[in-house]
Copies of this chain bind each other. A is one copy, B any other.
Amino acid sequence: MATSGKLMTIGQAARASGVSAKMIRYYDDIDLFRPEARSDTGYRLFSPTDVHALRFIKRARDLGFSVDEIRRLLTLWQDQSRASADVKALAMEHVRELEARIQQLEAMVRTLRHLADHCQGNERPECPILDDLAGQASPEADAVTGNRVRHSRASTGL
């Protein structure tokens, strides 16, 4: 398998792949990715194939995959006898993680928006947001229901 075409240095590989030289060294460190060769003076040397792998890694990072998930993706990528079901499973599990995080963030946003809606946002000190953080629901009337704000602090659902 004569992979090497013309070899390039880390700076060139970084520019060609969009991965910083710093991160390329890190990926090398943690055995995620090993460059083709080293010059006799210790310089890392990258083949076009290496750059391809770096782009793969970058794209996967951009899609939110962790380094560990990428490790598995790279293995699958290089495995000619992989089952696409395995790739899909990995991707869908990642999607579920992402969606869980989205749910959490949305719950926070909902709560905060709700609180902010009831905050006058003026020069006066009374503030339902601080009241909620302090654990005492504001004694303001609820603008929507007209009820006293009993709701023991809107839940974030966390």
Contacts and interface: CB of A to CB of B under 8 A. Distances in A.
Interface stretch (A6-14, A24-32, A129-137, A141-149): A129-137
A17 to B, nearest CB: 10
B84 A119 contact: yes
Contacts of A120: 84-85
Contacts of A91: 112, 115-116, 119, 129
Given A59-B135, A125-B82, A98 B108 contact: yes
Copies in the complex: 2
B88 A119 contact: yes
A56 B136 CA distance: 10
Interface of A: 52, 55-56, 59-60, 62-64, 73, 76-77, 79-85, 87-89, 91-92, 94-95, 98-99, 101-102, 105-106, 108-109, 111-113, 115-116, 119-127, 129-130, 132-135, 153, 156, 158
10 contacts: A56-B133, A83-B125, A84-B119, A84-B121, A84-B122, A84-B125, A88-B119, A88-B129, A91-B129, A92-B112
Given A84-B125, A87-B127, A98-B109, 8 more contacts: A52-B134, A56-B133, A63-B156, A64-B105, A79-B125, A82-B125, A85-B120, A88-B116
